[in-house]
Amino acid sequence: MSDRNFFLSPKASKARLREAENARRNRWDIIKAHSQGQVSRRDLIKMGLFTGAGLMIPISGLSPFARSVFADSNIPTGLPPSPLFGVQAFSTPMPRFDVLPRQPVSVLNPAPTAQANTTQQPVDPALGGGTGPIEGRPPGPIWAHQQFAQLPPVIAIQATMEGAKTNNVYNPGVPSLQNSGINPANPIPFKFHPGLPIQNVLKDWTYNGTIPPKLMMVRYGEPVLFRLRNRLPVNQSQNGGFGIHTISTHEHNGHHGAENDGFTGAFFFPNQFYDYHYPVVLAGRNSINTTATDNRASGPTDAGGLNKIAGDWHETMSTHWFHDHMFSFTAQNVYKGMAGMFNIYSGLDRGAEDINDGVNLRLPSGRASVSGKSWGNLDYDVNLMIAEKAWDANGQLAMDIFEFDGFLGDQMTVNLTFKPFMEVERRKYRFRILNGSVSRFFKIALSDGSPMIQIANDGNLFPHPVVLTQLDEQGIAERYDIVIDFSRYSVGQKVWMVNLAEHQDGKKVDKDLSIAEALSGNSSDPCVGKFLEFRIARNPAQPDISQVPSTMIPNPDLSAIPVARERVFEFNRGAGQTTNDPVTTFFGPWGIKTDNQGGTLAADYGRVSAAPRFGTREIWTLRNGGGGWDHPIHIHFEECQTLARDGSAANVPAWERGRKDVWRLRPGGEVKITLQFRDFGGMFMEHCHNTMHEDNAMLLRWEIDDLGGPFLRPLPTPIPKPQGVTFIPPDDILPTAL
């Protein structure tokens, strides 16, 4: 057992626990003041509380990580453990996701518009007063919804962003029997477990302000308008100590125009809305299968048929998620609860296992003949959002925003419920597993070492399924779709999902444990071991006819597409900043060096680091510049293929040979990928999805700006204000960008 840990053991001495709690409270005052804009990091440096690199100096009595007077050695102490109020693990059912209603677009008032709706409204004095636009999307043609006339929204999905409240309209999308007996008619107070305290309205901010987390269900060929209304407090100090009330939602990893991508600098304010247009199209729609003749390039129709669409069926995606992407505040806002999942249904993956049309892969989901739903059956298709949390002595969500190496919680949650159980039948289930943590990696196995079939990575079904007994490490934002066959168990048995990845801090996994080690209870990491209990409750009412075909979705063949150029991005600690715009810049310690030129740069969303030509393909190398940390790197917009790891194609494991959008670089590691730039344009991002690294400030902007129309090369940078978005020229354009 290690003695270098993020959290103190509950068995630590009372004096040591008290010392850590006092330090956390003292530190909390600084965190709160900083999060509320009362003091900047520059101010903290002047006060001697921060180093020039942006690190908080571990002063005893101020930092839980300062050396303890009660410690046996010069070892940092750690945070006090989250109290459990007598709650036991696996004593409450896991709620399925809460499906957001799909409505006709006609319900939207005002009606959506291609360009941002700049109708004026009064602005609250706390936000500067005057008037401002009702929609926070940057105005004008550059930020207009691309191809809005060709792909008009058919379905409206609406949500609010607001503080924690009771859910009175829970829709799990499945009968109670398939939701571990949860009666959706019962109100659901915002608690991580029925035995834990109700969360304060300012501590947790989620879509619609409620739990369980939300699920959007969409299908190819049916464009969606997602209207998000910001109902967070206008007063920035009303944030519960962390988080910010300006927001931007990224649909991870949608193939659509940048105006819908949740660009980090396209945030909007309380009392505004933002219309995200998700056309739900296949990549290559303007160059491949343009006449929509291929059955495999399709969405499911209500009648059980196929709605053929343009594009490359090899680019079909399935499991996405959506989350806040506010510049420098993504970690805080996502940790507060701004995350949901996004299932895309297609002819290939339609979520109806009994439709045998020669296209449908018939993956575990449910029967159309039973539910009456020809697509999107969730009975045996389960979204899991795994994220660890921490709470204070009062049971309220707690976070330390100054842990720039990475923040870890000490209590595992699944679908925002503390260590729940799930009742399952003796048959195959599909699980769409999202790592929704801030900084923690997971490595998942079943407690009995049984095989699991991995079928997708980051929402992309594999060319061929892969059988594993323990999944690879799963970085933040990665999605692993797996199939577990519970028919191997008897009714009355139970088995657990187990986390094998042991952390000591938020930099990286410290050690991958064996199942025996993880189950021994000896790990100093409180999030190692069992976190989800499966109870084999009954036999299925109908035979399991679902399938896991040996061939699913082959990779797109890019061999005929020339490589226009190569770029290298190195992810380092010790970044510098060359610009000083007060809105668009932030400073380290993290940053990215581009094309081996100059130094490592901290984030500035006004800087153009790369501008690939529209219609081309490139090869990008993503390099970890250090050996003491890992980075899950995310590239927005287009799914990529992994060409090599650490210089060799042979090092790419079977589960990474499909398409991906997040790569764990691994300590001292390197990944080479290839991607295309097509169909849409605008400014996108590339960043570490350890969101503490991302926010401080391992993020860059790249853009597709040469596709004509309203686009300018380079694109002007949006500067959002409650009174309206203005534009400024880029702060910086790297020499190799264009």
When binding is defined by CB under 8 A, the residue of 235, 488, 597, 649 that contacts other proteins is 488
Q: Is 516 in the site for other proteins (CB under 8 A)?
A: yes
Q: Is 450 in the site for other proteins (CB under 8 A)?
A: yes
Q: How far is the CB of 721 from other proteins (least distance, A)?
A: 39
Does residue 253 have a cis bond before it (omega within 30 degrees)? yes
Q: Is 124 in the site for other proteins (CB under 8 A)?
A: no
Toward other proteins, which CB reaches closer, 76 or 197? 76
- Residue 632's SS3 state is strand
Q: Is 652 in the site for other proteins (CB under 8 A)?
A: no
Q: For the chain, how many residues are written?
A: 738
Q: Is 470 in the site for other proteins (CB under 8 A)?
A: yes
Q: Which residues in the 574-593 window bind other proteins by CB under 8 A?
A: 574
Q: How far is the CB of 635 from other proteins (least distance, A)?
A: 21
Give the contact letters, 2-41, x = binds to other proteins (CB under 8 A), - = no: ----------------------------------------
Q: Is 521 in the site for other proteins (CB under 8 A)?
A: yes
The number of CA neighbours under 13 Å toward the Cβ of 611 is: 19
When binding is defined by CB under 8 A, the residue of 161, 258, 283, 445 that contacts other proteins is 445
The candidate with the shortest Cα–Cα distance to 253, out of 685, 546, 606, is 685
Distances (CA, A) of 43 to 3, 35, 37, 57: 34, 13, 11, 14
Q: Is 494 in the site for other proteins (CB under 8 A)?
A: yes
Is residue 457 a contact partner of residue 409, using CB atoms and an 8 Å limit? no
When binding is defined by CB under 8 A, the residue of 408, 453, 622, 737 that contacts other proteins is 453
Q: How far is the CB of 509 from other proteins (least distance, A)?
A: 5
Stretch that binds other proteins, among 35-43, 195-203, 509-517, 712-720 (CB under 8 A): 509-517
When binding is defined by CB under 8 A, the residue of 18, 25, 42, 538 that contacts other proteins is 538
Q: How far is the CB of 10 from other proteins (least distance, A)?
A: 17
Q: Which residues of 312-351 are buried (b: 16+ CB within 10 A; e: fewer)?
A: bbbbbbbbbbbbbbbbbbbbbbbbbbbbbbbbbbbbbbbb
Q: Is 520 in the site for other proteins (CB under 8 A)?
A: yes
65: left (phi over 0), alpha (psi -120 to 50) or beta: alpha
Q: How far is the CB of 571 from other proteins (least distance, A)?
A: 10
Q: Is 239 in the site for other proteins (CB under 8 A)?
A: no
Q: Is 666 in the site for other proteins (CB under 8 A)?
A: yes
Q: Is 236 in the site for other proteins (CB under 8 A)?
A: no
Stretch that binds other proteins, among 183-191, 378-386, 429-437, 617-625 (CB under 8 A): 617-625
Q: How far is the CB of 382 from other proteins (least distance, A)?
A: 18
When binding is defined by CB under 8 A, the residue of 491, 541, 649, 712 that contacts other proteins is 491
The candidate with the shortest Cα–Cα distance to 508, out of 699, 694, 697, 690, is 690
Q: Is 510 in the site for other proteins (CB under 8 A)?
A: yes
User: What whole-number distance in Å separates Cα of residue 692 and Cα of residue 696?
Assistant: 6
- Residue 105's SS3 state is helix
Q: How far is the CB of 690 from other proteins (least distance, A)?
A: 16
Q: Is 468 in the site for other proteins (CB under 8 A)?
A: yes
Q: How far is the CB of 687 from other proteins (least distance, A)?
A: 19
Toward other proteins, which CB reaches closer, 245 or 535? 535
Q: Is 419 in the site for other proteins (CB under 8 A)?
A: no
Q: Is the dihedral of CA 212, 213, 214, 217 positive or negative?
A: negative
Q: Is 1 in the site for other proteins (CB under 8 A)?
A: no
CA 720 to chain centre: 23
CA 440 to chain centre: 12
Toward other proteins, which CB reaches closer, 175 or 628? 628
When binding is defined by CB under 8 A, the residue of 21, 124, 357, 512 that contacts other proteins is 512
Q: Is the dihedral of CA 66, 71, 76, 78 positive or negative?
A: negative
When binding is defined by CB under 8 A, the residue of 515, 583, 643, 644 that contacts other proteins is 515
Q: Which residues in the 148-187 window bind other proteins by CB under 8 A?
A: 181
When binding is defined by CB under 8 A, the residue of 48, 52, 372, 492 that contacts other proteins is 492
Size of the site for other proteins (CB under 8 A): 68
Is residue 32 a contact partner of residue 26, using CB atoms and an 8 Å limit? no
Distances (CA, A) of 256 to 271, 281, 637: 26, 8, 7
Toward other proteins, which CB reaches closer, 512 or 732? 512
- Residue 183's SS3 state is coil
User: What whole-number distance in Å separates Cα of residue 487 and Cα of residue 502?
Assistant: 30
When binding is defined by CB under 8 A, the residue of 514, 542, 551, 726 that contacts other proteins is 514
Residue-by-residue DSSP string for 209-270: T-SSPEEEEEETT--EEEEEEE-S-SSTT-STTS--S-B-EEEET--S-GGGTT-TT--B-T
Toward other proteins, which CB reaches closer, 389 or 507? 507
Q: Is the dihedral of CA 330, 331, 336, 341 positive or negative?
A: positive
User: What whole-number distance in Å separates Cα of residue 101 and Cα of residue 159?
Assistant: 9
User: What whole-number distance in Å separates Cα of residue 503 and Cα of residue 499?
Assistant: 11
The number of CA neighbours under 13 Å toward the Cβ of 604 is: 24
When binding is defined by CB under 8 A, the residue of 158, 287, 555, 651 that contacts other proteins is 651
Q: Is 626 in the site for other proteins (CB under 8 A)?
A: yes
User: What whole-number distance in Å separates Cα of residue 334 and Cα of residue 388?
Assistant: 12
Q: CB-based contacts of 647: which residues, under 8 Å, 6+ apart?
A: 670, 672
When binding is defined by CB under 8 A, the residue of 138, 376, 606, 625 that contacts other proteins is 625
Q: CB-based contacts of 186: which residues, under 8 Å, 6+ apart?
A: none
Site of interaction with other proteins (CB under 8 A): 181, 428, 445-451, 453, 465-470, 472-473, 483, 485, 488-496, 507-512, 514-517, 519-521, 529-530, 535, 537-538, 548, 550, 570, 572-574, 623-629, 646, 651, 653-654, 666-669
